[in-house]
Amino acid sequence: MMATAIAVATAFALPVGASAAPTASPLGTWLNPYGSVAVRTGACGDRLCGWIVWASAEAQADAREGGVTGLIGTQLLENYRPTSGGWVGTVFVPDMGRRFYSKIEPVGSDGLRVKGCILHGLVCRSQLWHRVAQPPHA
């Protein structure tokens, strides 16, 4: 298990073909741009996943309206694999109760652009997440 985690951490340290410029590893704890959800990323088998570790009362209420009763612990990022320039997988949008194709791209040393798309990538929305040492406290 530890060997798998180390292999995943190594694979996700830099995207394929990355330059020597510092880029964000997707491993860690991330806060969305609204400060309403914190996600901790880690290995899930040989892929990268992310689980909600904190959410504001408003985010939890929005998720309940979308049919998600227990937002904390929900897997938000699913089965991401490294590609050139980032990682691809599936993002779950709790307030919609749906999953979408997604790409994560590093932004500097402490940022990730998380993009979710529909219609085979014709319509996309993205957010810039920032690394945090710990999730906010309620």
Listed by start position, the domains of the chain span 2-14+24-132
Q: How confident is the model at residue 137 (pLDDT cuts 50, 70, 90)?
A: confident
More confident residue, 116 or 12: 116
Q: Is the backbone of residue 53 left (phi > 0), alpha (psi -120 to 50) or beta? A: alpha
For residue 29, what pLDDT is reported? Answer: 96
pLDDT tens-digit readout, 30-48: 999 999 999 999 999 999 9
pLDDT tens-digit readout, 64-102: 998 999 999 999 999 999 998 899 999 999 988 889 999
Tokens of 31: 């806060």
For residue 121, what pLDDT is reported? Answer: 67
Q: Which CATH architecture is the domain 2-14+24-132 placed in?
A: Beta Barrel (2.40)
> Quick one: which of 126, 93, 118, 87 has its CA closest to 105?
87
Q: Is the backbone of residue 6 left (phi > 0), alpha (psi -120 to 50) or beta? A: alpha
